[in-house]
Amino acid sequence: MNKVDKKAAIVTLQEKFRNNSFFYFTDSSTLTVDQVNKLRRLCFEKGVEMKVAKNTLIRKALEAVGNDSRYEELYSSLHGPTAILFSPSSNAAAKVIKEFRKKSERPVLKAAFIDADVFTGDQSLDTLVSLKSKEEIIADIVALINSPMKGVLSALKSSAEKVAGAIDTISKKSES
């Protein structure tokens, strides 16, 4: 890879890191070509983009994107073969890894960047799978807001029916 190709790769990675709040570093080094193709297909089906790049290029792209130290914790995981999974939600890539590992030992999670939080090591995979996506959190909030309102409306409706029933009973008694 010559200097021009390296610069182009760094620029491409910079754009990916700028535009993605959720990305995972994995090691898929012992997978066969067929397994890698299956992993890529699964990623595609779930909306996760998989890229393989040299660690030095990844680090240079991260350093160029993050002028502050928000990516520093990731640098220690940049050793050995690295595949980057760019995820549309916080847990999509973790679910892909978990699903794929039902049939294989890899990919192994090296690190994950979720908004501003860094998760390191394969032991973080279960935590990442259990994270809720933005849509799931919004649905939970809407359900929480609706829940008390349904109770209030139900109480008002039953109270109105009781009042109507009482008025009906009183009017029948006054007629007799």
Residues 120, 136, single domain; the answer is: no
Residues 86, 169, single domain; the answer is: no
Residues 136, 86, single domain; the answer is: no
Residues 104, 176, single domain; the answer is: no
CA angle 42-46-49, nearest 5°? 80
Rounded Cα distance, 140 and 142, in Å: 5
> What's the total number of domains in the chain?
2
- Coil, helix or strand at residue 83: strand
Query: CATH no. for residue 91?
Result: 3.30.70.1730
CA angle 41-82-28, nearest 5°? 50
Domain that holds residue 161: 132-176
Residues 106, 23, single domain; the answer is: yes
Express each pLDDT in 3-40 by its tens digit.
999 999 999 999 999 999 999 999 999 999 999 999 99
Q: Name the DSSP class of 68.
A: S
> Quick one: pLDDT at residue 42?
97
Residues 86, 34, single domain; the answer is: yes
Rounded Cα distance, 86 and 43, in Å: 9
| Whether the predicted pLDDT of 164 surpasses 90 | no
Residues 66, 123, single domain; the answer is: yes
- Coil, helix or strand at residue 2: coil
Report pTM.
Answer: 0.78
Burial class (CB in 10 A: 0-12, 13-18, 19+), 176: exposed
Express each pLDDT in 121-136 by its tens digit.
999 999 999 998 778 8
Q: Pairing state of beta strands 22-27 and 49-52?
A: unpaired
